[in-house]
Each structure stands twice: as structure tokens, then as C-alpha cells.
Structure 1
């Protein structure tokens, strides 16, 4: 992913994270690639289920200009009270969450009413041929890429959980989306 990160994704991430404010929850923080890009939040709590990934994120945590707390947890079972966060961020993570439905329910629960949801994800493409190719490749891709599902339609999943989608930007022939939504309870 390094060529994409350096060429385009870094700018997308900066734009997305510039919209995060207040108390922020980041789902699946991985190696902490977003940590140095946060500028305005009061604090960020970053969850990650993998201890190895958490360890890899420590250097980027030191480079952050806002306080970042790491918590080992999965998106399907968030250890936080209802209505805790002003903003929830997920970047290139919903493809690997084993139960994305449950993660959406949890995200809705912990985000405050009228709180922001900020997503940057790859999704199932609208082009029928390319979507079919994603379906064919996903079983093999999941095995070699840490559970990544190429054909997940995270935007439709977001809409089906009554999030009010305010903005969607598409990149690379709609393979990647940037979405900003409001948590309507």
C-alpha cells in the first residue's frame, strides 16, 4: 500500500482527520498511520485487536500532536459507555472486521447523537464486471491479506444503520470512498 499511501491516501487521510473533533474513537488503528495526522481533537482513543499492531503503532503515537490512548479491543465489542464519542473514525478497516454489522451497531451506540462518522474504505465497485471480479478474488485475498474482503459494501452498510450520509467522495473508479455521516439516533 506504500505507493498509494504516499501518492494519494495521505492527502485523503489528512482531509478526513481534519474533520475529527472533540473526543475521537478510531476503529482498528493498525500501525498508527493516522496518529501524526490528527490536529484538532481533544483526545483520540484508538482501538486495535492485535497486540502486534499496537506495538508497531507506538512510534507514530509519539509523533502525534494530540493525546492518543491505545486500547486493545475489537470493533464488535467496544468497551465504552453509550454516547461517549463526538467523532468515530475508520480508515481501511471495515474490510477486515469479522462482523461488520455488529461493528456498525457498536459504532452507533458509542457515538453521541449528531456525532460524526468519518470513513475512508475500499468498497465493492458499481461496475458489474469489476464487482464480479472482486467477488471471485475475495476468498483468496482474505487468506493472504489478513482477512480483507474486497467486496464489502461499507457505504450501504452505513446507510442501512440510519447514519445520515452528508458527503461521499469516490477514488480510483469508486474502489475507495471517503464518507462523512451524522449519527441519527
Structure 2
């Protein structure tokens, strides 16, 4: 991930974060408990929002994003450890975490299927996997626009895929879906799931 993208990310996201995203994040992270793994923590936008968890292990592949996250680490109420790694090969044992969090990250991961496998692997049976993502829209016209815009958008936004069907990815992995909330006409979803005990 490029230095310029990391430097400008918070600035360009600020209007959305102030208007709606912060509340969505707060409500989602309130459901996290115990020892939490956050995938692709970026500039640390979630860090100050964790309230009642024991510890957060935050993974991020970009050294530039980790550098930007240092300021938000100072605003946290809980212990947060940052680990520089990608989501497709997590350096943690099976069943390590009580909850796994992914917010606005699955769109940029090169191999989202492998990342999802890893997230489920490291989550304890009965643990929560919590998502806030933009997704491929149901409306055929808008979905077509996403397809059209994705090649240019990926170059502009460091690999972000507007047309990624993340909800289907979640549904195809035998997770128990507790709740789905839709925002901005289905462009964004927050999803609470549980890893089955089987």
C-alpha cells in the first residue's frame, strides 16, 4: 500500500466517518469481546472505539498504514498490539481469538477466500466474526456501474474492488449469521456472524 494513499486516507474518509461510519463501527465493535483480532487495521480508525475487550491484536500489511496508526494507539482504552502481516497467512494458532473484526478491508485483500479461511481458522468455536464492508449491490444498474468503475477505482484506491461480492463470500463459509444491517441503499453492510461449534 502506497505512502500517499496511507497519508490521505483519513482526510478523504473523514466526511463519511463523521456522518455515519463512526456510529456503525461503534455498534459493531460493541459486540466484540475477549481477545480480538482485527484484520487490516489501516490507520487505526477503530482503535479508540474498543471499550470492553481484553486485548486487540491488529494486523496490517502496510508499514505506511502502521506508521499512520501510531497516533490513534495513544487514544485507546484497551491494550492493542500491531502485527505487520497480510490476512491470507495469519501467524496465529487455530482457535486463538474470541472475536475477529474486519472493517472496510475485504475489498482490498488480493485473495479474500483465503483470508476468510484464515479468519475462521483463528476464531474460537462459538466466537464472533464481525464485518463492516462495502459490497456488490443488488440493484442491477448500480451493480453494473460498480463493474464499470472497478478497474480505475482499484488503481486510484490501492486495490479496492468496488464490485466484490463480500456477502456471498461470508455466506459461503458456513458461518451462522446473526444480523445484517444495510446502509446507503445496500452499498455498505454490517454483518454479525458466529463460528459454529462443528
1:1-185 paired onto structure 2 within 5 Å: 1-184=13-196, 185=198
Consecutive aligned runs of 4 or more in structure 1 exceeding 4 Å deviation: none
- Distance in 1 (alpha carbons) for counterparts of 2:62 and 2:55: 21
Quote the offset at 1:65 in angstroms: 0.1
Q: How far apart in 2 are the matches of 1:154 and 1:84?
A: 24
* Partners of 1:165 and 1:75 in 2: CA distance: 21
Q: Return 5+ residue gaps in structure 1 as ranges.
A: none
**Could you tell me how far apart the structure 1 residues matched to 2:143 and 2:119 are?**
27
Structure 2's unaligned 5+ residue stretches are 1-12
TM-score between both structures, scaled by the size of structure 1:
0.99
Q: What is the RMSD computed on CA atoms of the aligned residues?
A: 0.6
Does the residue aligned with 2:74 lie in a helix, a strand or coil? helix
Corresponding pairs, count: 185
2:124 and 2:100 map into 1 onto residues whose CA distance is 10
